């Protein structure tokens, strides 16, 4: 079973940048956003607030990981690859803090969407896919780094972070805000716009009535920020050391 999951993980590692967006769009097209608490707009607002808070938590975790000890997750030639074993920063707390941030962001977006079937399918599917990708990465790292990786696994959990290690993990490390912006601004923007687009749809079709213009203004503002960051990168104002 694990070898099958590793094969699935290698497949999705290679094609995830293409498959993940289509998967989400396909699910959202299958069933449109709808309120879980149709009889209470107040409860629906609370549900959306919880979902949005989970999205922000996921983005904060990603930003913290990238800001302290960035690790390139793109591999080489679309295959799992690592030139060194990274165990510093948030990787001291758990072995996959970036994927933890991704999962929380995805869970939050599906909660904002609201349809129980889509939430269930989306969260379960992404959990399985990320677990397969992790198995594929672990097989590679164990083969390349041997005992060093085995010892790291013995003291560091795969998913749930050991929060008491935070101060020790970041001791003498400087947080790089510029790296967070340069490396993660598209993920941040996409996640926020996804939530806003769901809210806009619900207002547009009359499911809820919280102001379409406000939501559109937020989406436009995010777009302007993304354009500004892209321009700054091209002009060299956001070059990394």
> 137-170 pLDDT, tens per residue?
999 999 999 999 999 999 999 999 999 999 998 9
Asked if residue 145 is part of any domain, the answer here is yes
Asked if residue 230 is part of any domain, the answer here is no
- Asked if 133 and 99 count as a contact pair (C-beta separation under 8 A), the reply is yes
How much is the pLDDT for 241?
63
Asked if residue 186 is part of any domain, the answer here is no
- Asked if 24 and 31 count as a contact pair (C-beta separation under 8 A), the reply is no
C-alpha to C-alpha distances, 162 to 89, 145, 156, 157, 235, nearest whole angstrom = 12, 23, 8, 8, 40
Asked if residue 210 is part of any domain, the answer here is no
Asked if residue 7 is part of any domain, the answer here is yes
pTM as predicted:
0.91
- In this structure, the number of other CB atoms found within 10 A of the CB of residue 92 comes to 22
Q: How many domains does the chain have?
A: 1
> Residue 89 belongs to what domain range?
2-173
Distance between CA atoms of 128 and 135, rounded to whole angstroms? 11
Mean pLDDT of successive 10-residue segments in the chain (241 residues)? 93 90 89 77 86 97 90 72 88 96 97 92 96 96 95 96 94 90 93 90 66 79 93 84 63
Asked if residue 49 is part of any domain, the answer here is yes
Asked if residue 232 is part of any domain, the answer here is no
In DSSP notation, 6-17 reads HHHHHHHHHHHH
Asked if residue 154 is part of any domain, the answer here is yes
* pLDDT per position as a tens digit, 81-99: 888 898 988 999 999 999 9
C-alpha to C-alpha distances, 125 to 32, 110, 131, 147, 151, nearest whole angstrom = 18, 12, 10, 32, 30
Distance between CA atoms of 16 and 29, rounded to whole angstroms? 19
Domain of 119: which CATH number? 1.20.120
- In this structure, the number of other CB atoms found within 10 A of the CB of residue 224 comes to 10
Q: How many CA atoms lie within 13 A of 177 on its CB side?
A: 0
How much is the pLDDT for 58?
98
- Asked if 54 and 107 count as a contact pair (C-beta separation under 8 A), the reply is yes
C-alpha to C-alpha distances, 165 to 91, 103, 155, nearest whole angstrom = 10, 21, 12
How much is the pLDDT for 209?
59
How much is the pLDDT for 172?
87
């Amino acid at each position: 079973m694990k070898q099958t999951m590793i094969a699935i993980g290698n497949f999705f590692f290679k094609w995830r940048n293409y498959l993940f967006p289509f998967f989400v769009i396909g699910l959202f097209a299958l069933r449109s956003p709808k309120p879980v608490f149709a009889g209470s707009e107040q409860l629906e607002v609370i549900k959306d607030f919880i979902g949005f808070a989970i999205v922000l938590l996921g983005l904060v975790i990603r930003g913290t990981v990238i800001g302290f000890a960035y690790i390139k997750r793109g591999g080489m030639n679309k295959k799992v690859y690592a030139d060194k074993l990274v165990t510093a920063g948030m990787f001291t707390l758990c072995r996959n803090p970036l994927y933890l941030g991704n999962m929380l962001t995805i869970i939050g977006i599906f909660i904002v969407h609201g349809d129980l079937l889509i939430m269930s399918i989306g969260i379960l599917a992404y959990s399985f896919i990320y677990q397969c990708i992790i198995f594929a990465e672990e097989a590679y790292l164990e083969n390349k780094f041997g005992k060093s990786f085995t010892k790291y696994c013995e003291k560091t959990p795969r998913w749930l972070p050991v929060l008491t290690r935070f101060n020790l993990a970041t001791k003498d490390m400087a947080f790089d805000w510029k790296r967070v912006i340069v490396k993660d601004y598209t993920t941040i923007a996409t996640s926020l716009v996804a939530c806003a687009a769901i809210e806009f749809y619900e207002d547009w079709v009359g499911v809820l009535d919280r102001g379409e213009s406000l939501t559109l203004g937020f989406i436009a503002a995010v777009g302007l920020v993304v354009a500004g960051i892209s321009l700054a990168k091209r002009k060299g104002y956001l070059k990394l050391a």
